[in-house]
Chains A and B, each alone.
Chain A
């Protein structure tokens, strides 16, 4: 099976869906020049010149305009260059996009996809390195998608572009170059379906985004001591596949929830709470979280390397759970 990068997987999804559905169009800052800062939209301007718009630096305008187009029969894919900049459009995301279906009594679908490059990368520090999934998870009306592999990224993006509800598509920047097997044929991945990336009986690690890969690394290390970890990749935080998570916890009786957001109030906190509420009888140990330090991302590499959890932190956490 061919291996492609996560970036290319998203781009392929965009191209395939744009060929299939002429209402899909792309907008964002610099999306035409070089195909965007991370080259995800490369080639779209050449192939679909009338269906891509390079915008001014106007996040509120970008999101508001995308939403308006979505209410009027189009399917916009809007890029916010860094999720950090979505703060400039929070009214449009929270008070408009998330609410128009409900407050208008179901008169409209809201088929907007917001692409949100996230996470630490290349020393770009506090205002270009955040993970903000928890914010969107908290607002009823939004869907939050966090692919961890090229295969998942393509399948989830295709589903996003066929849906009727807003999608905040979290693209971890460091994962753009990750290579993975992606089949040539047509496939989609439904929302609300977690993926057990590795089966095991001794401990569950519920992970999202780059922590999935680190959890798999940790699992290999743990296996050398005879500890078999089960890795559940959430894939979509909202809708959340509680069934798969709970079934895993019922099997292993010990669980760590992990993501790259600052730990305080992150999506892992929500998942951990759900597990504590629903799986208490199955638990042999408290639910643990492994997440990023509660700091703005510092610049100096000596500090930056301390912020985001590594595989070894997961190994330590598992050992503490079992010890």
Chain B
């Protein structure tokens, strides 16, 4: 059953979400340079269409698992960016009370089961979320976001096989940005089309242009609908590119400047959607500016909230190791 094209309202929301991710990430980098955002920072700039196109089909009760590059997933799933920024600042008002940071950002209230510092760490969690949904017969779906690097780890194999053989309501979404940290995918695997690996598990494999949110939206819609119908998982590969380094501060000697420019200047997913919407008369220049301004104000509010928030106190150290406190 083909997925309908998104409504103008839905498109506007997707457009705003992509901007929210973009501006949040740029602000996070700035705040990192100012010593306010602490620790490792892996930004999603350039990949916005994947998270937004997929999460457009998910509601709060649906589940996603994420990667070390998790801000985009978190925002696309509907998280509160004030709590996100506070978490990056290490404050007690952050999502994880300052105990997780960027790599472990999570919002269980909207089904975001956490960014994960272990490559391929999300596979088991998403598959288990799908199992819970299947056992309850709830109609919930689970999406596992992962990168090209994760496809070389064991849990990719074990969990997709389990999801496939039990027909779990999970969609495995590969954000193939062609680099695993500093190593090009083509150097470490012969099968660079991850979607082709679906044949090993007996499930559909679909490949889309991950810089086109409408292509992502359509393919994700079909995959998620399949999952909800009880027909099992899909391996959805979105070819994408991260415009910035693996982490903030990455000198990127492993990528040519021309390559980065080609993607960043000519394949920007937000510009692409704006062009489409304007041509379809769904977006005016004024509306575009209004959205950017509104989102920028949200980001500033998030920074203000984070800056004014306290750090966790020492008594917090031993809390949340267990449901009880023991040192």
Contacting pair B96 A105 (CB below 8 A): yes
Contacting pair B128 A25 (CB below 8 A): no
In the complex, A177→B323 CA distance in Å? 34
Contacts of A68 in B (CB 8 A): 65, 113, 124-132, 142
Contacts of B94 in A (CB 8 A): 105
Q: A58-B158, A61-B127, A109-B323 are in contact. Are A96 and B121 (CB under 8 A)?
A: yes
Contacting pair A64 B125 (CB below 8 A): yes
- Please choose the segment from A69-77, A168-176, A196-204, A306-314 that sits at the chain B interface, where 4 or more of its residues have CB less than 8 A away: A69-77
Q: A105-B320, A107-B108 are in contact. Are A60 and B97 (CB under 8 A)?
A: no
B105 to chain A, nearest CB (A): 9
| Residue A103 is within 8 A (CB to CB) of chain B in the complex | yes
In the complex, A222→B262 CA distance in Å? 82
Name the CB-closest residue of B to A101.
B320
| Residue B281 is within 8 A (CB to CB) of chain A in the complex | no
Contacting pair A103 B100 (CB below 8 A): yes
Name the CB-closest residue of B to A143.
B322
B86 to chain A, nearest CB (A): 11
In the complex, A164→B162 CA distance in Å? 26
Contacts of A92 in B (CB 8 A): 124, 155
In the complex, A76→B95 CA distance in Å? 26
Contacts of A56 in B (CB 8 A): 158, 161-162, 165
In the complex, A100→B323 CA distance in Å? 12
Q: A104-B106, A109-B323 are in contact. Are A74 and B97 (CB under 8 A)?
A: no
B143 to chain A, nearest CB (A): 12
| Residue B154 is within 8 A (CB to CB) of chain A in the complex | yes
| Residue A127 is within 8 A (CB to CB) of chain B in the complex | no
Contact flags B127-159 to A (C-beta < 8 A → 1, else 0) = 111111101100000100000000000110011
User: Out of B121, B130, B320, B323, which one reaches A95, CB within 8 Å?
Assistant: B121
Q: A71-B113, A71-B128, A104-B96 are in contact. Are A53 and B166 (CB under 8 A)?
A: yes
In the complex, A65→B123 CA distance in Å? 8
Contacts of B159 in A (CB 8 A): 58, 60-61, 64-65
Name the CB-closest residue of A to B99.
A105
Chain B interface residue count, CB cutoff 8 Å, equals 49
A65 to chain B, nearest CB (A): 4
Contacts of A106 in B (CB 8 A): 97, 319-320
| Residue B63 is within 8 A (CB to CB) of chain A in the complex | yes
User: Out of B104, B106, B124, which one reaches A61, CB within 8 Å?
Assistant: B124
Contacts of A102 in B (CB 8 A): 99, 320-321
| Residue B46 is within 8 A (CB to CB) of chain A in the complex | no
Contacts of B100 in A (CB 8 A): 103-105
Contacts of A286 in B (CB 8 A): none
A102 to chain B, nearest CB (A): 5
Task: Name B266-282 residues within 8 Å CB distance of A.
Answer: none
| Residue A284 is within 8 A (CB to CB) of chain B in the complex | no
Contacting pair A60 B158 (CB below 8 A): yes
Contacts of A298 in B (CB 8 A): none
Contacting pair B136 A91 (CB below 8 A): no
| Residue B114 is within 8 A (CB to CB) of chain A in the complex | yes
A203 to chain B, nearest CB (A): 29
User: Out of B116, B118, B128, which one reaches A69, CB within 8 Å?
Assistant: B128
B315 to chain A, nearest CB (A): 14
In the complex, A151→B166 CA distance in Å? 36
Contacting pair B162 A70 (CB below 8 A): no
Name the CB-closest residue of B to A106.
B320
Name the CB-closest residue of B to A94.
B118
Q: A61-B162, A64-B124 are in contact. Are A103 and B63 (CB under 8 A)?
A: no
| Residue A183 is within 8 A (CB to CB) of chain B in the complex | no
User: Out of A50, A63, A71, which one reaches B129, CB within 8 Å?
Assistant: A71
Contacting pair A65 B323 (CB below 8 A): no
Contacts of B114 in A (CB 8 A): 100, 103-104
Contacts of B191 in A (CB 8 A): none
| Residue B210 is within 8 A (CB to CB) of chain A in the complex | no
Q: A101-B322, A102-B99, A143-B322 are in contact. Are A69 and B162 (CB under 8 A)?
A: no
Task: Name A16-43 residues within 8 Å CB distance of B.
Answer: 25
Contacting pair A107 B135 (CB below 8 A): no
Task: Name B300-327 residues within 8 Å CB distance of A.
Answer: 319-324, 326
Task: Name A71-85 residues within 8 Å CB distance of B.
Answer: 71-74, 76
In the complex, A105→B165 CA distance in Å? 34
Name the CB-closest residue of A to B97.
A105
In the complex, A79→B104 CA distance in Å? 28
Contacting pair A50 B135 (CB below 8 A): yes
User: Out of A60, A76, A100, which one reaches B155, CB within 8 Å?
Assistant: A60
Task: Name B58-72 residues within 8 Å CB distance of A.
Answer: 63, 65
User: Out of A58, A69, A107, A141, which one reaches B322, CB within 8 Å?
Assistant: A141
Contacts of A96 in B (CB 8 A): 116, 118, 121, 124-125
| Residue B232 is within 8 A (CB to CB) of chain A in the complex | no
Contacting pair A105 B129 (CB below 8 A): no
Contacts of B124 in A (CB 8 A): 60-61, 63-68, 92, 96
In the complex, A189→B324 CA distance in Å? 17
6 contacts between A and B (CB under 8 A): A69-B135, A74-B131, A92-B155, A101-B323, A105-B94, A106-B320
